[in-house]
């Protein structure tokens, strides 16, 4: 009930899809679109843990197939439900022949998998030699898609080690934003969380909370805008929302 009230609120509609609140998803979508554009037409692509299949259109020039452990409607999935799933199976035992695909894409899935090392090995099995895997996962995130959230995130060192052990080389790991992006996002998240909390507060606590939110918004808006600009100068990228990874099967 609270979730529905929040989704009907003006603040939710204002923030949803904005570069400040949804930059993680927007950056990931842009990365996936760039990678898809490099794939030759007619290539066979498997979207592992495809969910709502948000990248189907990006691979319209390819033979695009999907896998997930279920094809049932689920409001926790992006866009509110599953798309067309071709292979309903566990991620560690996809019912396809070895070397069937030219590309495997797996976005925001590994944190929900009990055995992610076995998962990347299975992705490698399904790829042809020289095939490409595209992976994204958070470095840190709040609990989501409960109870199927098992890991807090993955570091570049995890990808280098376990993709390497799974037979991949030319492993490229790119951060999805840096510290300033995360700090600006946290400011937006603070205001959003305070607003949603106020919806569930008793009437006598709601007004102080909203007044506090207005005061914080006056401080936060310039901080958010500056952080968005400063982020390009963060070369360390040790604090990031997550990573986008490309690797080639040796």
Round to whole Å and give the CA distance between 65 and 55. Answer: 11
pLDDT of residue 3: 46
- What is the tens place of the pLDDT at every residue in 198-240? 888 888 888 888 888 888 878 778 888 899 899 999 988 889 9
- What is the tens place of the pLDDT at every residue in 68-126? 998 666 767 877 789 999 999 999 999 999 999 999 999 999 999 999 999 999 999 99
User: In whole numbers, what is the pLDDT of the chain averaged over residues?
Assistant: 88
Eight-class DSSP state of 40? P
pLDDT of residue 147: 87
pLDDT of residue 141: 84
Q: Identify the band that residue 19 occupies on the pLDDT scale cut at 50, 70 and 90.
A: low
Buried b (16+ CB within 10 A) or exposed e, 20-59: bbbbbbebbeebbeebbeebeeebbbbbbbbbbbbbbebb
Among candidates 219, 217, 231, 236, which has minimal Cα distance to 182? 231
What percentage of the chain carries pLDDT values higher than 70?
Answer: 90
Eight-class DSSP state of 78? G
pLDDT of residue 90: 96
C-alpha dist (Å) from residue 98 to 93, 106, 121, 126: 11, 17, 11, 5
pLDDT of residue 83: 92
pTM to 2 decimal places: 0.87
Assigned CATH class of 39-178+236-249: alpha beta
pLDDT of residue 186: 87
What ranges do the domains of the chain cover? 1-22+179-233, 39-178+236-249
- What is the tens place of the pLDDT at every residue in 121-146? 999 999 999 999 999 999 988 888 88
């Amino acid at each position: 009930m609270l979730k529905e009230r929040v989704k009907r609120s003006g603040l939710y509609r204002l923030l949803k899809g904005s570069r400040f609140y949804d930059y993680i998803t927007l950056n990931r979508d842009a990365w996936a679109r760039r990678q898809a554009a490099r794939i030759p037409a007619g290539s066979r692509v498997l979207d592992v843990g495809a969910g709502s299949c948000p990248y189907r259109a990006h691979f319209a020039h390819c033979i695009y197939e999907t896998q997930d452990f279920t094809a049932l409607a689920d409001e926790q999935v992006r866009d509110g439900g599953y798309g067309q799933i071709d292979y309903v199976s566990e991620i560690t035992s996809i019912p396809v022949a070895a070397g069937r695909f030219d590309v495997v894409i797996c976005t925001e899935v590994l944190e929900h998998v009990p055995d992610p090392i076995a998962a990347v090995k299975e992705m490698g099995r399904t790829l042809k030699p020289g095939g490409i895997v595209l992976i994204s996962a958070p470095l840190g995130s709040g609990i989501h898609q409960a109870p199927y959230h098992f890991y807090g995130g993955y570091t570049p060192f995890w990808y280098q080690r376990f993709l390497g052990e799974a037979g991949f080389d030319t492993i490229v790991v790119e951060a999805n934003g840096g510290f300033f992006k995360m700090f600006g996002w946290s400011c937006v998240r603070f205001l959003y969380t305070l607003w949603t909390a106020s919806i569930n507060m008793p009437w006598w606590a709601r007004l102080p909370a909203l007044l506090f939110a207005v005061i914080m918004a006056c401080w936060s808006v310039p901080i958010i805008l500056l952080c968005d600009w400063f982020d390009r100068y963060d070369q360390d990228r040790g604090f990031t929302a997550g990573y986008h990874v490309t690797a080639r099967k040796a």
